[in-house]
Chains A and B, each alone.
Chain A
Amino acid sequence: MSITDMEYNPTTKSLQISMKLFVDDLELVLEREREIKCFLGTEKEHPKSNEFITAYVGTHFFVEQSKGSLPVTFIAKEVDKDYAWIYLEVKNFKVKDQTLLTNSMLFDYFNEQTNKVNYTKEEEVISFTLFKENISKEF
């Protein structure tokens, strides 16, 4: 299971996203895609691993509003024990607009992977789970 927490920041008018996944899973996916071992969060970490992660996120995580797909910016990655945290930001996010979120991270390699999303919209929390047969959610 991965957890994605999203919160709208009215000051920056952006959607701030932190995504938590098992670092071993992420590493395996990158290894399969690139045929390179990344050693995430270690001294041996591949210098381009953030680039690889950005590319993978770019094909598996989408935020769409009426104006189409919004650019998802990779901010940083952190490795904490078993978990990797990926920080993403979506600028010019219209908090009142209908939004379609797609998160198919890891589905291509792990059949039973589920991605839970908790979206804090002002006081309200919208929570849902995405899985292989259902990769998007509109809210």
Chain B
Amino acid sequence: MKKILTVALCALGLIANAQESTNKNPFRQLKQELPTPNSYRTAAGFPGHEYYQQKADYVMNIELDDNKQILSGEETITYHNMSPDALPYLWVQLDQNMRAKDSDTKKIAQSSIGESMSFDNLKRMMNDFDGGFKLDFVKGIDDKDLNYTVNKTMMRIDLDEPLKSGESFSFKIKWWYNINDRMQIGGRSGYEYFEDEDNYLYTIAQFFPRMAVYNDVEGWQNKQFLGRGEFTLPFGDYKVSITVPEDHTIASTGVLQNPDKVLTSKQIERLEQAKTAEQPVLITTQAEAEKIEKKKATGKKTWVYHAENVRDFGFASSRKFMWDAIGVQFGERTVMAMSYYPKEGNPVWEDYSTKAVAHTLRSYSNTTFDYPYPVAISVNSKSIGMEYPMICFNYGRPEKDGTYTARLKYGVISVIIHEVGHNFFPMIVNSDERQWTWMDEGLNTFCQYLAEMEWDVNYPSRRGPAYKIVDYMKGDKSNITPIMTNSESIFQFGNNAYGKPATALNVLRETIMGRELFDYAFKQYAQTWKFKHPTPADFFRIMEDASGTDLDWFWRGWFFSTDHCDIALNDVKWMQISDKNPENQKAFDKKMEDNSEDFIGDVRNKGNAKNTVVELDPSTKDFYNTFDKYNVTNLDKSDYKKYIDKLSSEEKKMLLNRNNFYELNFELVGGLVMPIILEFTFTDGSSQKEYIPAEIWKMGNQTARKVFWFEKEVKSINLDPNLETADVDRSNNYWPAKVVPSRFELYQQKTRESENEMQKAKRSK
């Protein structure tokens, strides 16, 4: 028994040793975390010489039943196998099945009943909505049934013969589904019901069986749609006919092919005007829309849309829509920025929506590439913000009395910038949302911040600046995960996938790389992967490759860990070079002694000086009683002259220069390595900034020392004075040390300074 124990202990000892000798340096390269570069994706972060991507084209006839809230369709998919591989089967995504009665989304949703539960939550938990695709048939182009297997939100189509590289395969699917009430059970798409007037507003997406992505990194996408991890889709061309009640207006991905059949001549004329107008032009006015929504037409109309090189298709339909538009010029090309909204969206929507769309196109195009699609649409949709190619559904309804808060106004502008911005990430720079939410949400939130700052320098942006992420990053880490976490397993979606990556990019731009290097590299990434499928490694690599900057430490800290930044300025030593001149040196020494603290006994005994032996009996005094060690003697002077004469002129100059030297001691309290940014304020009131790159921590050191010298005397030092590193504890950032008041104390100070409510009331009388 004893022997076994000894063996076991030895083995444990070995493991402990092995761990200790592993490289833990924060600057070690990401060789193990990132996939090995290959001919599909290069080490520079570019598509390799064998890079490929699949293509899926769709021809669809869709009908919306406004009486029963049913959507039905028949589609022909042509799948082009551009991969070098032969494919024995194809995978199709059936995202609507997430709302099927037996869906995994419902099964895995954790539920609990606390002391109280809201009706909304209860309704959602108990809903028995019969959602999901009902498949009428899956046939080949020759009308013969195809073998298929539905695996929850996905469907495998078995091919008689593998689809060879370079070949295409066409097949047909007929389907229908019950449209969900978004207000009752939620969802990115669905309908909103206006009870008082018995009208519906449909925002329709994920509405047809769509091809899954097959590529060099994932093979066929095999992650089911559970609700959070959004979409991963191949590019293709779409020809879509949508039949709706004849009094409905449709907003859709693509370009309308039959305006003569569905629009009035007045609307067509106004659209033409809008192309060159300086302010948005109403295509359907509020008065016109209100007239239409009061009645219900019985006939139908079919709207035909074509869209090229898009990864998805969405549309909205209602008899409630008013509609406005303005042209945005990109060289010779005019892109139509448009908005569709019910009267409930006004006044805010008419004033801001289309302007926000146009601004987003300009701002993002400047950051990335010219917006390549012909239209960009914002549709008013209660409570949500959701994006599709060329079209997005955005929240924002003012009060019934026509007033609205500043919060609502900026909320509307922000959500429109964000969702229109998604055209760039991930609709065009087509990252895999099912795997990595941050690749589109994080990059998009970063660009959104830039666009907001271009709207108004005082814009109340929610995410972007480093200091805004501090609350999320500091303290308890049990409820946070690294950014590099699969979309379905993220705690705190907003902070993790939107806020933190957007902040990280902002820190790179403002603090680590500088705007010039960052902007070039970021644009290079966007332009390189435009209409392609990038992965996280491609992004990390291209940002380094195009800027000549090793950022592995930054990706490791910000994207692969939950570490936070906390750098402490622990200690400051102030020194001046001794010039060896006894006149100065001895005076200085005397001053130092005079200034030093005295022992309490010495202080008290001084009062008794005249009663001491040496005072009462002067004969006890000798040379040592009167010797003043601070007196400058001739010997001191001649020694000094000898010393000076031996020095070179350069050395003499250094000796005589009265610089102040400061040795600063830093400690890396948090796990995140970051640059050290210092502001020295001098006794004359002036100040100076110093920047030390993060590589000061490159040895894996926890402390660092650095000497600075100035002619002036330093009064105070502030570490990270412009709040650019997300340092979570500011109380250890000052010399002399400063107590940072809590928010509570600040509030108390503020209220003490200002008048109280009674005083205010008196003054108003």
Binds A, one of B473-481, B512-520, B530-538, B650-658: B473-481
Contacts of A87 in B (CB 8 A): 743-744, 747
| Cβ-defined partner of A109 (8 Å) among B121, B492, B495 | B121
Contacts of B472 in A (CB 8 A): 1
Interface string of B101-116 (1 = CB under 8 A from A): 0000000001010111
Tell me the minimal C-beta distance from B490 to chain A in angstroms.
11
Q: Within the assembled complex, what's the spacing in Å between the Cα atoms of A1 and B475?
A: 13
Across the interface, name the chain A residue whose C-beta is closest to B476: A127
Contacts of A81 in B (CB 8 A): 407, 460, 462
B460 & A82 in contact (Cβ 8 Å cutoff): yes
Q: Say if the beta carbon of A97 comes within 8 Å of chain B.
A: no
Residues facing B in A1-52 (CB within 8 A) are 1, 3, 5, 7, 16-18, 20, 23-24, 32, 39, 42, 44
B743 & A128 in contact (Cβ 8 Å cutoff): no
Q: Say if the beta carbon of B745 comes within 8 Å of chain A.
A: yes
Contacts of B120 in A (CB 8 A): 109
Q: Within the assembled complex, what's the spacing in Å between the Cα atoms of A132 and B118?
A: 14
Q: Say if the beta carbon of B491 comes within 8 Å of chain A.
A: yes
Q: Within the assembled complex, what's the spacing in Å between the Cα atoms of A132 and B112?
A: 8
Q: Within the assembled complex, what's the spacing in Å between the Cα atoms of A56 and B333?
A: 56
Across the interface, name the chain A residue whose C-beta is closest to B472: A1
Q: Given A5-B743, A16-B742, answer yes or no on A116-B476 (Cβ-Cβ < 8 Å).
A: yes
B407 & A107 in contact (Cβ 8 Å cutoff): no
A76 & B751 in contact (Cβ 8 Å cutoff): yes
A78 & B474 in contact (Cβ 8 Å cutoff): no
Tell me the minimal C-beta distance from B480 to chain A in angstroms.
9
| Cβ-defined partner of B403 (8 Å) among A44, A82, A89, A109 | A44
A114 & B462 in contact (Cβ 8 Å cutoff): no
| Cβ-defined partner of B747 (8 Å) among A7, A44, A76 | A76
Residues facing A in B628-647 (CB within 8 A) are none
Q: Say if the beta carbon of B471 comes within 8 Å of chain A.
A: yes
| Cβ-defined partner of A116 (8 Å) among B403, B407, B462, B475 | B475
Residues facing B in A34-82 (CB within 8 A) are 39, 42, 44, 75-76, 78, 81-82
B407 & A18 in contact (Cβ 8 Å cutoff): no
Q: Say if the beta carbon of B612 comes within 8 Å of chain A.
A: no
Q: Say if the beta carbon of A93 comes within 8 Å of chain B.
A: no
B121 & A3 in contact (Cβ 8 Å cutoff): no
B112 & A131 in contact (Cβ 8 Å cutoff): no
Tell me the minimal C-beta distance from A103 to chain B in angstroms.
13
Q: Within the assembled complex, what's the spacing in Å between the Cα atoms of A18 and B742?
A: 8
B121 & A114 in contact (Cβ 8 Å cutoff): no
Q: Say if the beta carbon of B405 comes within 8 Å of chain A.
A: yes
| Cβ-defined partner of A108 (8 Å) among B116, B406, B491, B495 | B116
Tell me the minimal C-beta distance from A39 to chain B in angstroms.
7
Contacts of A24 in B (CB 8 A): 407
Contacts of B460 in A (CB 8 A): 81-82
Interface string of B670-685 (1 = CB under 8 A from A): 0000000000000000
Max chain A C-beta neighbours (<10 A), residue from B115, B495, B747: B747
B476 & A129 in contact (Cβ 8 Å cutoff): yes
Q: Given A87-B747, A114-B492, A132-B112, answer yes or no on A20-B471 (Cβ-Cβ < 8 Å).
A: yes
Tell me the minimal C-beta distance from B659 to chain A in angstroms.
36
Q: Say if the beta carbon of B117 comes within 8 Å of chain A.
A: yes
A3 & B407 in contact (Cβ 8 Å cutoff): no
Tell me the minimal C-beta distance from B748 to chain A in angstroms.
8
A114 & B471 in contact (Cβ 8 Å cutoff): no
Number of interface residues of B (CB under 8 A): 32
Across the interface, name the chain A residue whose C-beta is closest to B120: A109
| Cβ-defined partner of A129 (8 Å) among B406, B478, B742 | B478
A1 & B117 in contact (Cβ 8 Å cutoff): no
Across the interface, name the chain A residue whose C-beta is closest to B495: A1
Contacts of B406 in A (CB 8 A): 42
Q: Within the assembled complex, what's the spacing in Å between the Cα atoms of A76 and B746?
A: 12
B116 & A1 in contact (Cβ 8 Å cutoff): no
Q: Within the assembled complex, what's the spacing in Å between the Cα atoms of A67 and B126?
A: 42
Q: Within the assembled complex, what's the spacing in Å between the Cα atoms of A44 and B110?
A: 38
Across the interface, name the chain B residue whose C-beta is closest to A78: B747
Q: Within the assembled complex, what's the spacing in Å between the Cα atoms of A26 and B427?
A: 34
A18 & B492 in contact (Cβ 8 Å cutoff): no
Contacts of A82 in B (CB 8 A): 407, 460, 462
Q: Say if the beta carbon of A111 comes within 8 Å of chain B.
A: yes
Residues facing A in B470-528 (CB within 8 A) are 471-472, 474-476, 478-479, 491-493, 495
Q: Within the assembled complex, what's the spacing in Å between the Cα atoms of A42 and B491?
A: 32
Q: Given A108-B114, A128-B476, answer yes or no on A16-B492 (Cβ-Cβ < 8 Å).
A: no
Contacts of B742 in A (CB 8 A): 5, 7, 16, 18, 120
Q: Within the assembled complex, what's the spacing in Å between the Cα atoms of A20 and B470?
A: 13
Contacts of A99 in B (CB 8 A): none
B475 & A17 in contact (Cβ 8 Å cutoff): no
B475 & A18 in contact (Cβ 8 Å cutoff): no
| Cβ-defined partner of B112 (8 Å) among A114, A117, A133 | A133
Tell me the minimal C-beta distance from A117 to chain B in angstroms.
8
Interface string of B433-477 (1 = CB under 8 A from A): 000000000000000000000000000101000000001101110
Tell me the minimal C-beta distance from A113 to chain B in angstroms.
10
Q: Within the assembled complex, what's the spacing in Å between the Cα atoms of A81 and B121?
A: 28
Tell me the minimal C-beta distance from A107 to chain B in angstroms.
7
Q: Given A5-B743, A44-B403, A85-B743, answer yes or no on A128-B112 (Cβ-Cβ < 8 Å).
A: no
A18 & B743 in contact (Cβ 8 Å cutoff): yes
Contacts of A85 in B (CB 8 A): 743, 747
Q: Within the assembled complex, what's the spacing in Å between the Cα atoms of A5 and B474?
A: 12
Q: Given A7-B744, A16-B742, answer yes or no on A111-B121 (Cβ-Cβ < 8 Å).
A: yes
Contacts of B118 in A (CB 8 A): 32, 108-109
Across the interface, name the chain B residue whose C-beta is closest to A2: B471
A131 & B116 in contact (Cβ 8 Å cutoff): no
Contacts of A131 in B (CB 8 A): 479
Q: Within the assembled complex, what's the spacing in Å between the Cα atoms of A131 and B114?
A: 12
Tell me the minimal C-beta distance from B105 to chain A in angstroms.
14
Q: Given A1-B495, A114-B491, answer yes or no on A125-B116 (Cβ-Cβ < 8 Å).
A: no
Q: Say if the beta carbon of A136 comes within 8 Å of chain B.
A: no
A128 & B121 in contact (Cβ 8 Å cutoff): no
Residues facing A in B723-765 (CB within 8 A) are 742-745, 747, 751
B747 & A18 in contact (Cβ 8 Å cutoff): yes
Task: Write 16 A-B pairs (CB below 8 A) sorted by A numbering.
Answer: A1-B471, A5-B743, A5-B744, A18-B742, A18-B747, A42-B405, A44-B405, A81-B462, A87-B747, A104-B114, A109-B120, A109-B121, A111-B110, A118-B476, A127-B474, A132-B112
What 9 A-B pairs have minimum CB-CB distances, sorted nearest first?
A127-B475, A127-B476, A18-B743, A129-B479, A16-B744, A81-B460, A3-B471, A118-B475, A18-B744
